[in-house]
Homo-oligomer: A and B are copies of this chain.
Amino acid sequence: MPDLIGDRAAVAEANARFYQAFEALDLAAMDAVWSHDEDVKCVHPGWPLLTGWGAVRESWQAIFANTEEMRFTISDVRVVAGADLGWVTCTENILSDVRGRVTVTAILATNLFARDADGWRMIHHHASHVLAAGEVAEA
């Protein structure tokens, strides 16, 4: 499997742009990060699967509208780039303030990117909570 350093860096940059758009609550930046294909998919923590850019964009719009401020650090970033698909796993360490309630949460994310003429665009985001010890359900 090809895994060129240049492609891996480009996928890592696309992943970083996604989190910059997320932290800035910037829908126009999300428009630029994501593919607008009808097959793109998104799973927010605990949400059902969303399919198609229209549904995915609406979900970000709703999240941004209900979030006053979003701050996080991204850790454990692992990037693999193939010929036309790239994938990233990372941990989102989120400090959020939703209507005055501040929470810190660790979220595991799998992010997929497809290469198009302009570079790498996000095609799938799957994020889920890590449960504390004792809460863990089996697969």
In the complex, residue of chain B having the shortest beta-carbon distance to the beta carbon of A43: B108
Are A82 and B80 in contact (CB-based, < 8 A)? no
Are A48 and B130 in contact (CB-based, < 8 A)? yes
Are B66 and A138 in contact (CB-based, < 8 A)? yes
Are B91 and A49 in contact (CB-based, < 8 A)? yes
Say whether A137 faces chain B, with CB atoms less than 8 Å apart.
yes
List of B residues within 8 angstroms of A89 by Cβ: 41, 49, 124, 126
CA distance A123 to B89 in the complex (A): 12
Determine the interface band of chain A, counting residues with CB < 8 A from chain B: 35 or more
A6 CB, min distance to chain B CBs, angstroms: 16
Interface of A is mostly: strand
Are A80 and B1 in contact (CB-based, < 8 A)? no
List of B residues within 8 angstroms of A98 by Cβ: 138
CA distance A110 to B85 in the complex (A): 14
List of B residues within 8 angstroms of A14 by Cβ: none
CA distance A124 to B127 in the complex (A): 14
Are B138 and A67 in contact (CB-based, < 8 A)? yes
Are B138 and A63 in contact (CB-based, < 8 A)? yes
